[in-house]
Structure 1
Amino acid sequence: MTVNMVLKPEVLGCTDFRSVRSLRPELTAALFRLSSQPTTLLLHSQVHQLQSSHFSFLFSTFDFLLTPTSNIKPLSDPPIFAEPIPNVTVALGRDVSLPCVIENLGSYKVAWIHVGRQMLLTIHKHVVVKVPRFSVSHDNQKTWLLHINSVQQDDRGYYMCQVNTNPMISQVGFLQVVVPPNILDSLSTESTVAVREHQNITLTCKADGYPPPKLMWKREDGQVISLNKHHKVNLYDGEQLNLTRITRSEMGAYLCIATNGVPPTVSKRITVDVEFSPMIFVPNQLVGAPTGTNVTIDCHTEAYPRAMSYWFLGDEMILSNEKYATNIMENSYRAHMRLTIRNLTASDFGSYRCISKNSLGETEGSIRLYPIPKPSAAPKATEIKSSANNEGRPSTPPPAKRLTTVWPSSYNPYSPKRTERPPQPSEERVERPEQKLRGGESTGETCILSPGPPCFPVSSSS
């Protein structure tokens, strides 16, 4: 690939090249040669080669040498490129070096050129371009390195390594400058937006970088994105996210993520607030409790913006004190209101109202608290003992015992010898006074009281 770097006399402000020296007094020398053939330039410092169909021109801030290629004695082996210039990818702001490996260079010179900008960068060991980020080095063998510090996006493109043989030989390599993604806040939706429930909203996110970044959306809480009533997705690709008839369940933070394969990946967090008037849900509208106990009633509310919530008994607002304890637990647009009433008295029964109010409206729920009797105590079991002791002597008669229900051993449902059906539930067993038997033994007697036949005593052996 050949690059002709042409500069017309008009650019220098003169009618022909012979007047350039008078316009540029800092030049130490100038030489003109009319020729229809190109001229090979061998330079030691900054050089510009100007060509037309009739002449070639060269000037230098130091000394120069203009030598026709016919006067250069050919070497036994002409210069050749030992290996191609690699294509290099570098991130913005990093340093990079491009190698040009030449064998048999001899007295020929090496130049580096930025092809896209047609800019001569270096000639042999001298830097031509007035950009301090560029430099050149030689390992005294066959490798020429073009160094670029703190690479910028303008440095992207093809770079040519050229040797001034006849004909000229050259090779090119491409420098790719990649730029990590960057979200453009000025062109994107603000970090917090508000919308009324059941309206539409569009979220916009724009980013730059190289390669051009890919944008995708997701919800921060991991929930699905509702594009419309029938279309829900976990991830959505594109610069704009359209939410149709948004509801309160879609309130929250949305993340716009920009990625192009160049780290780091960046994201923008956009909080969507869905505004609506308060709503109240009462789990139990009727609550019963006995006098002298504590009771808790509750209401569930939903509202955004955040609502003021409080309780009323009749026309009087309830405040937290020794009698009442109020508590509100909030989660996003939801709130759980709880009211505890201690040591209930007759005046505490009645209709309680939970009220929720925000800038968009007000609503209330009603709970009726009524008295109920206290639960009765559970019956206590009674133990029956025989009046005879282990030695066969009568014991002191026990005090009179109250009537109680007793299972005789013959009707015991857990007795392995049970052969008869137990009595009906209406029947009642009553313990009778003990009687002495002959031989000084005593026994306890139990009978069944029922509206049927007379009671027959049932003896229990000691």
Structure 2
Amino acid sequence: MKLSHSIQLLLLSCVCSIYCTDAVIIQSNPSANGSSIVTEVSKTVTLSCVVQGTADGEELQWYRNGALVSLKDENRLEQSHLCIQPTTTDDNGALFSCQLKTNATRKASIQLVVMHAPDLNGSEELWAEEESDIVLSCDVHAYPPVTVVWKKDGALLDLSSSAYHTSNNGITATLTLSNVKREEHEGLYICEATSSHYGVKSKSFIITVDDKVMKFPLGPTIAGLVVVVLTIVLAIFSRWGKVTKCFKKDHH
């Protein structure tokens, strides 16, 4: 049994609505791994957006984390290209999307994964007075995230003591030394970050503890001097009459 002409046209229309739509795809260098591109900081990433289908002269738009990217006029029609150079730590996790200007449902997206090691190196010398507090800080911002340990004079620091307190928000790791004492806290401290990709990075701190300096109580001293001066002035005024009389008596 043959299908009528009208039914054949209807089926053809349905097939075309499934397969003949304009597809937007993103090509990249380096190549994507699924829906993401893995690169390293200071590298170059190029993205190319292409329309596949029946549309001619379709205008394309790029978005970075939902914000529209400014494009030149000649870089909008049917094909569009972006160059991220150099990649920075701020690009890690950034989502780039390309879509038809006339139909936002026709789009493709790709996410950047930017590998970078923590910025740890060198040595820092610090001085602290007895009974004061001191804070050591390390930049541990990295991808993949790192694990951080603190060492003192080559051995893992015993953090069970109330004299030490640590914190780590994934960007900065800190070690706080409270109520420092020369025999307990003076020495070489190391902030050591271990990355599954970059290995071990570290920064050292040389802590010297000085004797506590007695600070001059400037505020109370000034207040005391003011009281003394006012007392002298009031005393002079209270005796001014007698002084004047003595002066007149001597004058006669």
Pair in the same fold by TM > 0.5? yes
Alpha-carbon distance, 1:315 to partner = 0.8
Equivalent runs, 1:396-415 vs 2, <5 Å: 406-407=228-229
The one-letter code of the counterpart of 1:369 is I
Q: Deviations over 1:249-273 (max 9, x none)?
A: 44442423221524x4343332222
Task: Specify the alignment match of 1:316 in structure 2.
Answer: 155
Equivalent position SS for 1:306 = coil
Equivalent runs, 1:270-419 vs 2, <5 Å: 270-280=110-120, 285-318=124-157, 320-321=159-160, 322-330=162-170, 335-346=171-182, 347-358=184-195, 359-372=197-210, 373-376=212-215, 378=217, 380=220, 406-407=228-229
Q: Deviations over 1:31-52 (max 9, x none)?
A: xxxxxxxxxxxxxxx9xxxxxx
Matches of 2:6 and 2:226, distance apart in 1: 117
Structure 2: unaligned runs, 5 residues or longer: 241-252
Structure 1: unaligned runs, 5 residues or longer: 1-25, 27-45, 47-126, 135-147, 156-176, 225-232, 385-402, 416-443, 445-457
Pair 257,459 (structure 1): closer, same or farther in 2 beyond 3 Å: closer
Instruction: Let me know the Cα RMSD of the aligned residues.
Output: 4.5
Alpha-carbon distance, 1:222 to partner = 4.7
Pair 317,256 (structure 1): closer, same or farther in 2 beyond 3 Å: same
Alpha-carbon distance, 1:371 to partner = 2.5
Query: Are the aligned partners of 1:281 and 1:300 in contact in 2 as well (CA < 8 Å)?
Result: no
Equivalent runs, 1:99-248 vs 2, <5 Å: 128-129=4-5, 131=7, 151-152=13-14, 154=16, 181-184=22-25, 189=32, 190-212=34-56, 213-220=58-65, 222=67, 237=76, 238-248=79-89
Equivalent position SS for 1:406 = helix
Matches of 1:285 and 1:260, distance apart in 2: 54
Equivalent position SS for 2:228 = coil
Equivalent runs, 1:48-67 vs 2, <5 Å: none
Give the count of matched residue pairs. Answer: 226
Matches of 2:172 and 2:169, distance apart in 1: 5
Equivalent position SS for 1:353 = strand
Matches of 2:68 and 2:169, distance apart in 1: 23
Pair 234,314 (structure 1): closer, same or farther in 2 beyond 3 Å: farther
Task: Specify the alignment match of 2:100 in structure 1.
Answer: 259
Matches of 2:60 and 2:68, distance apart in 1: 19
TM-score by length of 1: 0.39
Task: Specify the alignment match of 2:239 in structure 1.
Answer: 461
TM-score by length of 2: 0.65
Pair 180,154 (structure 1): closer, same or farther in 2 beyond 3 Å: closer
The one-letter code of the counterpart of 1:258 is Q
Task: Specify the alignment match of 2:250 in structure 1.
Answer: none
Alpha-carbon distance, 1:338 to partner = 0.9
Larger relative contact order (CA 8 Å, sep ≥ 6)? 2
The one-letter code of the counterpart of 2:178 is R
Pair 293,256 (structure 1): closer, same or farther in 2 beyond 3 Å: same
Query: Are the aligned partners of 1:356 and 1:362 in contact in 2 as well (CA < 8 Å)?
Result: yes
Q: Which has the larger radius of gyration?
A: 1
Pair 313,252 (structure 1): closer, same or farther in 2 beyond 3 Å: same
The sequence identity of aligned pairs, in percent, is 16
Matches of 2:221 and 2:27, distance apart in 1: 83
The one-letter code of the counterpart of 2:229 is W
Query: In proportion to residue count, which structure has more strand?
Result: 1
